[in-house]
Amino acid sequence: MIKRDIIQTAVKLRNDEEIIVSSLGETSDLLYSVNPNGKNFYMLGSMGMTLPFSLGLSLNNKNIIVLEGDGSFLMGLGFITVLSRYKEQNITIILLINNNYNSTGGQSTNVDIKTIYALLKVFDFNISVVSTIDQFQEKMLKKEKLHFILAKIKSTSENIPFVPLNLNEIKNNIVQKR
């Protein structure tokens, strides 16, 4: 699977009430290229903060889809202890695992999907592992409470433009499109 296919499928399957929050770098750039007018929040320059921000939105009765890379997830790893106390929130966390920090030069994360799964299992999270778009689509359609979808993706690099919005425009994507 590649990141673009996951993002396109998530956008296609989301309902009108769901906000997509995307991790920094290529993930946000791809989401913008696929769905520039959607209810999306692009995390710019804040590696590891996607999950805390998404939890905050969900506490305001929002349904959240998170597009998070494994590198950014590892930067905010301590937050899973907090997140484990909010398992009734409507958050779908799509963890895009390519085993590298793609946006910062491709350095290895030194962590594989089995390790991430085992770590999340310690906190008794609802976890699904998918390896095909069909499996991903099936898990997205279930609309469960807080759950992780671990998606192993190929490490690719697309020549796509950066998100051309400033922070106020990004904020207005979710404030004005309620």
Angle of CA points 144, 149, 151, to nearest 5°: 155
- Which pair of structure tokens corresponds to residue 84? 């484990």
Place 81 in a pLDDT band, splitting at 50, 70 and 90.
Answer: very high
Contacts of 52 (CB under 8 A, 6+ apart): 76, 79, 82
Place 153 in a pLDDT band, splitting at 50, 70 and 90.
Answer: very high
67 touches 20 (CB < 8 A):
yes
More confident residue, 14 or 99: 14
User: What is the percent of the chain with per-residue pLDDT over 90, rounded to a whole number?
Assistant: 71
pLDDT at 155: 79
Mean pLDDT of 79-89: 96
- Which pair of structure tokens corresponds to residue 109? 């994360």
Mean pLDDT of 46-56: 93
Instruction: Tell me the pTM.
Output: 0.94
Separation between Cα atoms, residue 24 and residue 5, nearest integer Å: 18
